[in-house]
Amino acid sequence: MRNLLIPVLCGWVLVACTPTPSAHTELPTAYVRLAATLSAAPVSYSLAATPLPSPTSPAPSATQIATTPASPLEQYRAWMQEARTLYPYSEALDQMWAVMLCESSGRANAVAGEYYGLFQYSPATWAGDWNPYRDQSILDARAQIFATAKAWYEGNQGWWGCYR
């Protein structure tokens, strides 16, 4: 039996493939189960940093349309790339992605006890002088991604239990 973890709009789906008992076919039968940690709550994210075009702006080109992220998770990856340019930490971008999924399953509105957002910040840590994004909501996905990149740039990867 093999398991595949595939991304969907609001989380991840675990697909387990097992052989079909029928003698007429060799095709596998897929059983789809949602991971227990996923929530039906919608993923929220802020596009505040992306200015809206004015009514007199020209229409976007085909290239601009093709590169616009289609889902919140795609937007998070684009912001991670942008944040890494501003705060160049040594780990691969996929490391930050894995920590985000471990901490919140990619849900910007995740709350677990006293921890909030994509990277599960406590209000005290979020409000610290180290964080230039502390004036933004602790649940702002873009602010959390940029703050995390800055924290990693400064060598604070140990703040996350999911960091390996």
Identify the domain containing residue 17 by its residue range. Answer: 2-34
Burial zone of 156 (CB within 10 Å; 0-12 exposed, 13-18 middle, 19+ buried): middle
Considering its fold, how many domains does the chain have in total? 2
144 and 84 assigned to the same domain: yes
Q: Is residue 86 part of a domain?
A: yes
Is residue 60 in a domain?
Answer: no
Q: Are residues 149 and 100 in the same domain?
A: yes
**In a domain? residue 144:** yes
Alpha-carbon span 69 to 151, nearest angstrom:
25
Q: Are residues 78 and 153 in the same domain?
A: yes
Instruction: Say whether both 83 and 142 belong to one domain.
Output: yes
pLDDT (tens digit, 9 = 90+) per residue, 93-147? 999 999 999 999 999 999 999 999 999 999 999 999 999 999 999 999 999 999 9
Q: Is residue 126 part of a domain?
A: yes
The C-alpha atoms of residue 56 and residue 60 are separated, in whole angstroms, by 12
Q: Does 105 reside within a domain?
A: yes
pLDDT tens per residue across span 23-39: 443 333 332 333 333 34
Query: Does residue 65 carry a pLDDT above 60?
Result: no
Same-domain check for residues 17 and 94: no
Query: Are residue 84 and residue 129 in the same domain, yes or no?
Result: yes
Are both 23 and 81 inside the same structural domain? Answer: no
Question: In DSSP terms, which residues pair with 29 in a beta bridge?
Answer: 18
Residues 87 and 149 sit within 8 Å (Cβ to Cβ): yes
